[in-house]
Amino acid sequence: MIMDEIKTLKKELGNKVVIPVHHYQAKEIVDVADFVGDSYMLAVDCSKTNAQFIVFCGVLFMAQCADILGSSEQKVVIPVPTADCPMANMANLATVEKVFSSLPNNENIAPIVYMNSYADLKSFCGKHGGSVCTSSNAEKIMKYYLDQGKQVLFFPDRNLGINTAMKLGLSEKDTINSKNIAAYNNERVILWDGFCPIHLNFTVSDVTEMRKKYPEAKVIVHPESTKEVVDNADDSGSTEYILKKIEASPDGSSWIVGTESTFVKRLAVQFPAKNIYMLKDSVCANMAKTTPELLHKTLLNVKQHIENGTPLENIVTVENEYKEFAAQSLKKMIEIVSK
């Protein structure tokens, strides 16, 4: 019933509204999406839309990106303003500025901020010649700066940082955790100490147990998992990479997937001819906050706003002081990836 009402509202609103939906959202929300993707795909898609209202189904930092990349006429709203990301809260501007300014020769250090961060940190990166990255392009972005002989300050996710550095052929000795910054000795990659609690849930013994249960299956994990879990898996990559890899695999193939469970369950429905198992049940509670009821309420509010001037609720706006440089660091990412 509620789904029918959402579809009717969507039809009535036509091209005035787009609904970008992250892969970790519930199936019902995905079913009414205009585009579905990981945070990189959604940022690119949002930068191209002309819709007047962007109803973003994901978490807050993603909706902020839509506002940063959108035009001044567009409005971004989010069905659940409390859909936060614990990892994004693990780095704040004051602490990042403190660490960065304490580093010698910091003009040679490129700050790279994971998409999972707030606009002030993206702005910091833009100001200091750095870039945003996502899990689908972290390798390309880090390589871009390392190839220029720069060092990298990578935040907030230490796991994505170290897993990316390893993929680029660096060793753990080339990295230092920002908690030990007093011992800094020109390591090539300085890693912030943040993490995603959902991906940190996966352990090497989970991999071992699941391999015993399904010996024919390949293990594929997200690089927000620890280095040990990634080392013990057969493959690792972003949500989009995992999706493409499973999609391209032959029918009858078996996969143990280490990423957010809502997404893994959806993969199992989407590819019934393949055997898809969760490495472990690990749900992002913040992504799960968006329900059909709340999406319906948001669309209704947008409709009433257009028709009667009802105040628009749950608007996501990035402060002007951060917008310009945050846009610069997002555009830098898009530019490096498109090279």
User: Which residues here bind ligand SF4, judged by CB under 6 A?
Assistant: 59, 85-87, 116, 196-198, 260, 284, 286-287
Minimum CB distance to ligand SF4 smaller for 181 or for 283: 283
Complex with ligand SF4: residue 286 or 329, whichever CB lies closer: 286
In whole angstroms, the minimum distance from the beta carbon of 83 to ligand SF4 comes to 8
- Count of CB atoms within 10 A of residue 244's CB? 13
Between residues 198 and 276, which has the closer beta carbon with respect to ligand SF4? Answer: 198
How far apart CA 91 and CA 127 sit, in angstroms, is 17
Instruction: Work out the angle at residue 287's Cα, subtended by the Cα atoms of residues 316 and 3, and round it to the nearest 5 degrees.
Output: 90
Closer to ligand SF4 by Cβ: residue 67 or 260: 260
Q: How distant, in Å, are the alpha carbons of 44, 56, 83, 280 from that of 337?
A: 11, 24, 28, 32
Nearest by Cα to 123 from 156, 86, 143, 93: 93
At 163, list the tokens: 């897993």
Minimum distance from residue 226 beta carbon to ligand SF4 (Å): 14
Q: For residue 243, which amino acid is it?
A: L
| CA atoms of 30 and 16, how far apart (whole Å) | 19
Inter-residue long-range contacts of 270-274, CB under 8 Å, 24+ positions, other chains counted? 271/246, 271/247, 274/246, 274/249
Nearest C-alpha neighbor of 111 from the set 186, 52, 191: 191
The least distance separating ligand SF4 from the CB of residue 117, rounded to whole angstroms, comes to: 10
Enter the tokens of residue 62: 């993603």
Q: Is 195 left (phi over 0), alpha (psi -120 to 50) or beta?
A: beta
Tokens of 234: 């057969």
CB 279, min distance to ligand SF4, A:
14
Q: Count CA atoms closer than 13 A to 78's CA, side-chain side.
A: 22
Residue 248 C-beta: closest distance to ligand SF4, Å: 24
What letter represents residue 12's amino acid? Answer: E
CB of 121 to ligand SF4, least distance (A): 14
Q: Closest separation between CB of residue 235 and ligand SF4, Å?
A: 19
Q: How far is the CB of 288 from ligand SF4 (least distance, A)?
A: 9
Question: Nearest distance from residue 198's CB to ligand SF4, in Å?
Answer: 4
As a whole number of angstroms, the distance between CA 80 and CA 82 comes to: 5
Of 3 and 294, the one with the shorter C-beta distance to ligand SF4 is: 294
CB closer to ligand SF4 out of 263 and 322: 263
Sign for the pseudo-dihedral over CA of 325, 331, 337, 339: negative
What is each CA distance from 126 to 110, 154, 213, 249, 294, in whole angstroms?
10, 14, 47, 39, 34
